Amino acid sequence: MPERDPGERTEDIWDQFSPTGEALATEEDYEHGYARVVRVDLQQHVVFRVGDETYGIPIAQIGEISKPMYTTPVPRTSDFVMGIGNVRGVVIPIVDLATRLRLGTCAMAREARVLIVRHASEQTGLLVDEVIGVMSIAPENLEEAPGALAGARGDFIRALARWDGRIIIILDLGTVLAPGDFLAPGVGRSVGRSGRG
């Protein structure tokens, strides 16, 4: 990992990044006398907690991790939209991931963090209860979302992964951040623009 300047917003989390998954000695290394095969298909994920569940998002989609910032509420938006926040001069929506995933609301404890994610050329802040760390996973350890989880919440899940004895839910940002869901039910472009005025 390149060193990162621990700037005001950047968290210790960056220090926890293991250099890369493949650099750690594994049991296979002992068995095969360190004839290590460097894998380039490992994908790093930032792992975090929302309520009692553990989630992951590919690190490539995360721009930075910051402490919760002041948000300005925006009227006529869905309950999971906390409002807008200002991240380095750019106004971005901040989403309470717990509300979005129907797990209640974020407890806003000391460990709470905002993941600034990039998706479809837009930045969004995701409020989570705690950032746990970073894991590298190989494609064979990823399970496509099982059918049993189908349904509204199932749409948010891209895959399941096993890490450190836990099941990690890899989120599908495409559905979690579907632009159509941000406006409050019943509010749409038609409101006030129906041509009556």
Partner 1 sequence: MSDPPKPSAEFLSEAQEVIEAFSRNLLQLDAQQRTGEYDPDLLNAAFRAIHSLKGLAGLFGASRVSALAHALESTLDSLRLGRLPLSQPALDVLFEAVEVFQSMLAVFGTEDAETVSTDALLSRITALSPDAEDGGEGSDLVGLDPAILGVLTEYEEHRLRENVRLGRRLFRVHAAFDLLAIDVGIESLKGKLKEFGEVITYLPSADSGSDDRIELDILLGSDATLADIATGVAEDGVRVFALETSAAIPETPAPATVADVAPTPTPTPAPVHDDVDMVDASTAMSLRSISQTVRVDLERLDVLMNLVGELALVQANLSGTLESVRAIRGAADVSRELQTHLRTMDRKLSLLQQSILDVRMVPLGQVFDKLARVVRKLGREAGKDIRLVITGAETELDKLIVEELSDPLMHMIRNCIDHGIETETERTSLGKGATGHIELRAFQKGNRVVIEVEDDGRGMDWRLIRDKAVLRGLIDDLESREMSRQEVIDLIFVPGFSTKDTATEVSGRGVGMDVVKTNIARLSGLIDVDTTPGRGSKFSITLPVTLAIIQALVIQTAKQTFCIPLNSVLESIMVSEADIETVEGHEVVSLRGKTLPILHLSRIFGLQTNYRYLDPARIYVVIVGLAQHRVGIVVDELLGQQDVVIKPLGRALRGVPGIAGATELGGGRTVLLLDVSVLVEEALGRSDATPTDPTPMEAANA
Site for partner 1 in 73-102 (CB under 8 A): 73-79, 81-86, 89-93
The answer to whether residue 142 forms part of the interface with partner 1 (CB under 8 A) is: no
Q: Torsion angle, CA of 36/41/42/44, rounded to 10 degrees?
A: 140
The answer to whether residue 121 forms part of the interface with partner 1 (CB under 8 A) is: yes
For residue 174, the 8-state DSSP code is: H
> Shortest gap between Cβ of 160 and partner 1 (angstroms)?
17
The answer to whether residue 37 forms part of the interface with partner 1 (CB under 8 A) is: no
What CA–CA distance (Å, rounded) separates 63 from 133?
15
Q: Which of 140, 152, 146, 125 is nearest to 65 (CA)?
A: 125
The answer to whether residue 36 forms part of the interface with partner 1 (CB under 8 A) is: no
> Shortest gap between Cβ of 36 and partner 1 (angstroms)?
15
> Shortest gap between Cβ of 129 and partner 1 (angstroms)?
18
181-191 exposure pattern, b = at least 16 Cβ within 10 A, e = fewer: ebbeeeeeeee
> Shortest gap between Cβ of 142 and partner 1 (angstroms)?
11
Nearer to partner 1, 138 or 191 (CB): 191
End-to-end, the C-alpha distance of the chain in Å comes to 58
Distances (CA, A) of 184 to 75, 78, 188: 9, 4, 8
Determine contact, residues 35/26, Cβ cutoff 8 Å: no
- Per-residue contact flags (x/-) with partner 1 for residues 165 to 194, judged by CB under 8 A: ------------x-x--xxxxxxxx-xxxx
> Shortest gap between Cβ of 73 and partner 1 (angstroms)?
4
- Among 28-36, 71-79, 107-115, 146-154, which window interacts with partner 1 (CB under 8 A)? 71-79
For residue 77, the 8-state DSSP code is: B
Chain residues in the site for partner 1 (CB under 8 A)? 2, 40, 58, 60-61, 70, 72-79, 81-86, 89-93, 118-124, 177, 179, 182-189, 191-194, 196-197
